[in-house]
Structure 1
Amino acid sequence: MKYEKSFYQIKSNAQIFEKIVEEKETIGYYNLPYQDTTEIKEFAKTVKQKDIVVVGIGGSSLGTYAIHQFLLERENSKKLHFLESTDPVDLHWRLKKIDLDHALFIIISKSGSTVETISILKYLHSITTIDNTNTVCVTENDSKLNAFAKANDMKTFEIAKNVGGRFSVFSPVGLLPLAIMGLDIDKILEGCKKVSESFFDKSEYYDTIMEKARFIVENKNRFNINVVFSYSSLLDGFNKWYVQLWGESLGKVNINGTKQGLTPIGIIGPVDQHSFLQLVMEGKRDKTITFIKIDDFKDDMTIPDITIPHLEELDYLNNIKFKDLINMQADSTIEAIKNLKDIPYDIITIKQQNEYNIGKLMFTYELLTSIVGSFVQINTYDQPGVEAGKIILKNKLSIKK
């Protein structure tokens, strides 16, 4: 007797762990924490330009922006700019902030033929000099962008073929501009290593990540919206990176033809306490919430001990540090959610605003994404839905031409 099936069952944690161990042999991002960063750091030391311009979109810029925003005060005197949108108003606005004659352009495209990136490169080529003195390319070693760079004797850094764009922040895609900005990229990778080694040794991070992934998958039909509620504007870039990572990786058709998808939403506290929180508190119970707090902002800005006429009743705010206020706001929201007893939530507390901790946070989410993808039995690393739109666009542009 022969038995076949076209449906899938949720596998055990042990089976999923073995699959992730197998993936480690072929999916490149798992090994990025262990790379040699010497070439990147040595090149970064040679950069004299003050305006550093990342030309890339999606996975070629979101991760870099997330880390850059989180670590703003730790950078050097250079300014980091991002050119990613083909919105002409946005492009003009951003270009006005750049001294084009004294800028370094970092052109990032894994495929080497990203429409948005090459369109912006073409425009830059028409308004300023683009040559080996001011341009670096980050791409696959056999792409057309790499051929362009080599033909013009430009410095290049390789994106390995087995490192997907949205998982590429810890490759030269992110490490190159971050090193130029004076950040300690080795500390970033140390944070990644901590999570990786703990997970693959089945210690602290294994239990935390596996438990969360399993809950999300077992309850995906009831709670199919995953909200990251970050209590700091420093994490706004992380939220945007998470939305791409989660949405583009997990919105797929699985092995038995069932459409999968967990909708990511990133919001910022306390701002969104005055908007989205109402929906969470009294709206449909279809959301999980992850609160992210920063334990110590290392900033002692304090509400002054003054009385404003007609606002005397609010003098209880006097002498409170803003870092304490925002964490009290976070704790109050968490307590309100906890008291409802019907909204799944968890809390991530970042000890300090530094390279090590942002590396830990982002690598944790990469691992979590891979594990959830393995549980629902999809290809976490492709994006056929996105490719369909790209093909249509290229056809439209060809007809127009």
Structure 2
Amino acid sequence: MTYLNFSFEHVLRFVSQKAINSYEPLVRHYHDVIHTRSGPGKNFLGWVDVPADDAELSRIKVVAEKVKNDSDVLLVIGVGGSYLGAHAAIEMLGDTFGYLGRKKGDIPEIIFTGHHLSATYNKELLRVLKEVDVSINVISKSGTTTEPGIAFRIFRAFLEEKYGEEEAAKRIYVTTDKSEGALKTLAVEKGYETFVIPDDIGGRYSVLTPVGLLPMAVSGIDIDAAIAGARQAAEDLATPALEDNIAYQYAVIRQLLYEKNYTTEILSNYDPKLRYFSDWWVQLFGESEGKDGKGIFPAVANFPTDLHSLGQYIQDGRRQLFQTILRVDEEAETVVVENDEANLDGLNYLVGKSLNEINRVASDAALKAHVDGGVPNMVVDLPRLDAYTFGYIVYFFKKACAMSGYLLEVNPFDQPGVEAYKTNMFEMLGKPGYVSEEKLR
């Protein structure tokens, strides 16, 4: 019995239980590979045991309180795994409209940049930041990644002009390598407070390290509960037995569907608070599996909104996709449909029903329609949206992704393809060491 519920009954008309069970020996093999750290990417399995340094966690909480007391905005600068996990947690667990009517000392608004190169976005952001107090958390292992590096240049200069160099240094928090890199060098030179990105945890697996925990703590999330949830998941999912490990079941079913040419997976959610969690999931699986000409393409649908757009394709389009549904059993708030005497909209048949109940019926109805239309479906039911659940579901997907990558026979912990666009960009922009021979003539 695990904390969340994973169901694959709606897959069994597409792949058999016998086929699933046949993967038991291979799953046991790769379980040992993961836990003995003996396979490809073995140096990036630090997340498996959910490490958390008590002194570092205490310091994160102290800094979070300082930021809350002296800032209206925390500007988080990072790209990829350096921001997606924190963004997922804050959107899932925070008050969606908490920034309205905010007072000094309340939870700051968390704004993300450094994950794009939009002049318009950053210019507009600079304009509004002039009127509020700001702190920065810049997250980068090296400090030389183009997008966050440019953003940090821009907003560091802004902060130094706004507060002066000495005060600005007290408002800049750096999450980077423990001992080397351009950002670490600058942090030492300027006296910025620093937090460590562990050497053995890659970006997309790093949300439950200072990479994600500092922005999460500033936003008011109970980071101890998030760590506890992940540790419970690590315990629940530590068994090599396929019949008892839902993360491995998910990985095996994905592999079986892939072998049957279901090459696109849609993660569908029924709550807008899960939108950025879905984006984190896209990076986790896309960057982990998409290599060597292999991999399932990860896509996202935000239901019921997208039932009125993507829903048509899912129902009647090409049969190369399958769906994993992310649902929440117990919502924090209840809204009930009220009676309207005129009933012009014809909705009085719903009087007394809660939005939670109607939303669940919508998900059940869409699930049945899609399966009947030839789309395999799996369902992950979360008990509720809280920090403990966030830590648990993050670990569930990370463990599943590691197994899934190994079943696909790729290294789930590298991302060599990401370097291709960077090399082209550096050459086109004339970065030293990247200029082509043709341009040198």
TM-score, normalising length from structure 2? 0.82
- Which residue of the partner structure matches residue 93 of structure 2? 71
CA contact (8 A) 1:41 1:179 kept: yes
CA contact (8 A) 1:29 1:167 kept: yes
- Matched residues, percent identical? 24
One-letter amino acid matched to 1:54 = V
Change (3 A) 1:206 1:170: farther
Change (3 A) 1:44 1:128: closer
CA contact (8 A) 1:34 1:193 kept: no
CA contact (8 A) 1:169 1:175 kept: yes
- DSSP-derived class of the 2:87 partner: helix
- Which residue of the partner structure matches residue 154 of structure 2? 123
User: 1:296-349: per-residue Cα shift (whole Å, max 9, x none)?
Assistant: 2121222221144643x3321333222222122111112223444x42211111
Determine whether 1:304 maps to 2:342: no
* Separation (CA, whole Å) in 2 of partners of 1:308 and 1:96: 48
- Which residue of the partner structure matches residue 21 of structure 1? 35
User: 1:199-249: per-residue Cα shift (whole Å, max 9, x none)?
Assistant: 114479952111221121133141111111101000000111111111111
* Separation (CA, whole Å) in 2 of partners of 1:53 and 1:203: 44
Aligned residues: 386
Determine whether 1:324 maps to 2:357: yes
TM-score, normalising length from structure 1? 0.90
CA contact (8 A) 2:28 2:240 kept: no
Determine whether 1:263 maps to 2:297: yes
- DSSP-derived class of the 1:293 partner: strand
One-letter amino acid matched to 2:77 = V
One-letter amino acid matched to 1:136 = Y
- Which residue of the partner structure matches residue 385 of structure 2? 353
CA contact (8 A) 1:303 1:318 kept: yes
Determine whether 1:138 maps to 2:175: yes
10-19 or 369-378: bigger deviation = 10-19
CA contact (8 A) 2:138 2:175 kept: yes
Quick one: which of 205, 209, 212 aligns to 1:171?
209
89-98 or 77-86: bigger deviation = 89-98
* Separation (CA, whole Å) in 2 of partners of 1:100 and 1:380: 44
User: 1:354-383: per-residue Cα shift (whole Å, max 9, x none)?
Assistant: 101111111111111111111122111111
Change (3 A) 1:146 1:205: farther
Determine whether 1:386 maps to 2:418: yes
CA contact (8 A) 1:224 1:286 kept: yes
- Which residue of the partner structure matches residue 250 of structure 1? 289
58-67 or 100-109: bigger deviation = 100-109
- Which residue of the partner structure matches residue 270 of structure 2? 231
How far is 1:160 from its partner?
1.5
- Which residue of the partner structure matches residue 193 of structure 1? 231
How far is 1:181 from its partner?
1.8
Determine whether 1:83 maps to 2:113: yes
Which ranges of structure 2 fall in alignment gaps of 5 or more residues? 1-22, 99-105, 436-441
How far is 1:169 from its partner?
0.8
* Separation (CA, whole Å) in 2 of partners of 1:14 and 1:28: 20
- Which residue of the partner structure matches residue 3 of structure 2? none
* Separation (CA, whole Å) in 1 of partners of 2:125 and 2:175: 21
- Which residue of the partner structure matches residue 211 of structure 1? 249
One-letter amino acid matched to 1:195 = A
CA contact (8 A) 2:236 2:245 kept: no
- Which residue of the partner structure matches residue 60 of structure 1? 82
Determine whether 1:334 maps to 2:354: no
Which ranges of structure 1 fall in alignment gaps of 5 or more residues? 1-9, 254-258
- DSSP-derived class of the 1:300 partner: coil
Q: How does 1:268-307 map to 2 (within 5 A)?
A: 268-307=302-341
* Separation (CA, whole Å) in 2 of partners of 1:204 and 1:184: 32
One-letter amino acid matched to 2:282 = V
